[in-house]
Structure 1
């Protein structure tokens, strides 16, 4: 793969349809994601503790429905399950736009959580149905960049538009979020309506579909799941809690700097993702994960150093640099992990394999803020950074173990035909 043009030409028609509207689909989510808790607290008047508890319903519900969702994907197909999730998302966003009582908001957020619980395994299973091999890894990376672009642009537009003194502006953005889900729904009902899993033979590494217990007895799945959980715990699990809290309390930077740091994160991902994909194509995915762990360890040490010069320009620059370096690590992680999961799967168990991936992701995203809150609340800032760095070391160790549990093909290495024979 030498460029975006050749990547696009190599995609089947279904893959082009899936990729062409990603940024538009996620634009609505970007409009509401940074402002939902503000809406609940400052516009609807719910106290901050209740607002936080309501927000957690999305992740909790998503974690609960992920397992059953994987089974349904394998039984009825990713397309049918995604349509159900999108219907719940539209209903949830619409209901939340007019929620003046906590109970109504709770129902709305649970409906949104249902979508998040099935959309990750469903979308990954659908992608794996239409693209394979190294092209699949490239697809996951480009899709990640487009998701970040849509959310980033949506967040910027939402920041300029919403006004707590004008509640109707929040109503509008939630209705736009609901409407954005009509885009993937139209694709699934139109150009992608005939997409079905391909027949696949069981292999030693990707056997027939079985229960979750049977899948988790496979060493490769277990080690990859542990690696995913740890990466989410020290990575995305810190982005909404640990990182902002450390930046404010320890580095003592302004909220404007924190907000701008997320823009830096998005920009780095969008600008670097395709170049990174070309560099890692054909390389062992476990080695890419080791590099990612090293990059993330450096980013956390960089953030820790900002606490030595609190409130200074150097601290502000350090916070921005942290998010830039962290984003580079993300461009290494996001193409490799979902590609490896799907290379371990067949179309008979792809839903469940991707549900395990989703559960590990959500588990890390839920526990990460809890640990961060405890450590920072106890003024254990140095320990907080130490835990993050040790977690990066753990990712490197797990990647090393995983490398011995998977074949070169699953690890992203193309085996020449004469060697395979």
Structure 2
């Protein structure tokens, strides 16, 4: 019992109550996030779209997400974290309910783009709020638990979504909208505004006038963002291209739900042990190994033609995702100057909507013309990202050390 208590204290001890309400809101939201998992199947099976057209419509979600991410970062720094979260969740619920009753592909594409805006706005606010309330020494734990909650919710969503998709696509969208409203209620009742008085960031460290432009021209940070984009392209294969590949292999939606659920179950069972496992190693090394595992897992799909091989490959890339989550989030937080925290988060989160566009738009064409060789291309991208992390690790570490040294200076010396 004492050993279990000590493990829990090491894993989640000392985290403030506000973090746990943010965590709960994220968990509820993800547990009901059915629709986007099956959007490509919905478009091809229920609306008669080709794989290429379905990829473009799903890609519209990514285009909207890019705008929503930047908007969410600016609003979270100016308007507040809580207000941004509430506005985004309420808008997403309304748009998802509208999408449930839309029949024309053009209208679905427009709504998908708007849902992308609403779904991407909370990302920078969530992370900025966590950094606001969690002391630096405990942030790695907080980010690990955030990733755990995200995947616990996705595991629940995947299991239920496979059943709902075969019974009713309408229910798929409406349950998604209801879960988003429930998450908004938790935030409204339990999460206070965490944006306090802004800290002064030395111009010597920033190198230019503070603003969104700073994040968009920070070369060390952008190198990290670019590598994260490649990782996101790999991750997005599971929700965009893999369903189409499994359908081409004669597998049912429930089989796809089982593959995604297996990944979520592995994360739920093992993610809390990851921080202690990777603690002795440099973050760049951990990210290189994790991205290499993801490349291997997706590359294996080149020869997958049945459910067992899909399940085995899922285990490999899921282990990679598990190892990558804590250092990826921690590096992102460390590279952001305090007064630009949400803006840096918004630029970082651009990788995900961008990948949401690139992965299905180019992936649909690649799958259609290359067939199973598409997965060799995906594996090669992963290996390039692994090498990039090894090369970029040194400059990142020096940049973080400079920011921490500047933060320790008295405010008077910064003027």
Q: Which of 15, 18, 34 is the equivalent residue of 2:22? A: 18
User: Hey, what does 2:338 align to over in structure 1?
Assistant: 347
User: Hey, what does 2:215 align to over in structure 1?
Assistant: 215
Q: What displacement does 1:292 show?
A: 0.6
Q: Using the alignment, how far apart are the partners of 2:367 and 2:166 within structure 1?
A: 31
Equivalent pairs counted in the alignment come to 396
Contact 2:64 2:117 in 1 (8 A): yes
1:182-193 aligned within 5 A: 182-193=181-192
- The question of 1:254 aligning with 2:251 is answered yes
- Cα RMSD (Å) of the superposition? 3.2
Q: Which of 387, 390, 400 is the equivalent residue of 1:400? A: 390
Secondary structure of 2:217's partner? Answer: coil
User: Hey, what does 2:62 align to over in structure 1?
Assistant: 59
Contact 1:247 1:258 in 2 (8 A): yes
User: Hey, what does 1:240 align to over in structure 2?
Assistant: 239
Q: Using the alignment, how far apart are the partners of 1:48 and 1:387 within structure 2?
A: 22
User: Hey, what does 1:303 align to over in structure 2?
Assistant: 301
1:133-212 aligned within 5 A: 133-161=136-164, 169-197=168-196, 199-203=198-202, 210-212=210-212
Deviations 1:74-100 (A, max 9, x none): 222222222221121121122223335
Q: Using the alignment, how far apart are the partners of 2:363 and 2:122 within structure 1?
A: 27
- The question of 1:319 aligning with 2:310 is answered yes
Contact 2:63 2:354 in 1 (8 A): no
Q: What displacement does 1:283 show?
A: 3.8
Q: More displaced, 331-340 or 280-289?
A: 280-289
User: Hey, what does 1:366 align to over in structure 2?
Assistant: 357
Q: Using the alignment, how far apart are the partners of 2:94 and 2:20 within structure 1?
A: 28
Structure 1 residues 209 and 22, CA gap change in structure 2 (3 angstroms): farther
Deviations 1:116-135 (A, max 9, x none): 22122221112111114242
- The question of 1:86 aligning with 2:89 is answered yes
Deviations 1:46-103 (A, max 9, x none): 6557665543332211112322332222222222222221121121122223335556
Q: Which of 287, 293, 300 is the equivalent residue of 1:289? A: 287
User: Hey, what does 2:127 align to over in structure 1?
Assistant: 124
User: Hey, what does 1:419 align to over in structure 2?
Assistant: none
Contact 2:215 2:347 in 1 (8 A): no
Q: Using the alignment, how far apart are the partners of 1:209 and 1:80 within structure 2?
A: 26
Q: Using the alignment, how far apart are the partners of 1:232 and 1:409 within structure 2?
A: 24
Structure 1 residues 48 and 275, CA gap change in structure 2 (3 angstroms): same
Q: Using the alignment, how far apart are the partners of 1:294 and 1:38 within structure 2?
A: 29
Q: What displacement does 1:353 show?
A: 0.7
Secondary structure of 1:349's partner? Answer: helix
Q: What displacement does 1:239 show?
A: 1.8
Q: Larger % of helix: which?
A: 2
Secondary structure of 2:338's partner? Answer: coil
Q: More displaced, 92-101 or 146-155?
A: 92-101
Secondary structure of 1:190's partner? Answer: helix
Q: Using the alignment, how far apart are the partners of 2:205 and 2:350 within structure 1?
A: 21
Q: What displacement does 1:330 show?
A: 0.6
Contact 1:27 1:153 in 2 (8 A): yes
User: Hey, what does 2:409 align to over in structure 1?
Assistant: none
Q: Which of 348, 353, 365 is the equivalent residue of 1:357? A: 348
Structure 1 residues 195 and 154, CA gap change in structure 2 (3 angstroms): same
TM-score (norm 1): 0.82
Tell me, which stretches of 5 or more residues in structure 2 are unaligned? 406-415
Q: What displacement does 1:329 show?
A: 0.6
Q: Using the alignment, how far apart are the partners of 1:47 and 1:387 within structure 2?
A: 25
Tell me, which stretches of 5 or more residues in structure 1 are unaligned? 416-421
User: Hey, what does 2:411 align to over in structure 1?
Assistant: none
Q: Using the alignment, how far apart are the partners of 2:369 and 2:181 within structure 1?
A: 45
TM-score (norm 2): 0.83
Contact 2:158 2:257 in 1 (8 A): no
Q: Using the alignment, how far apart are the partners of 1:262 and 1:10 within structure 2?
A: 32
Q: What displacement does 1:321 show?
A: 0.9
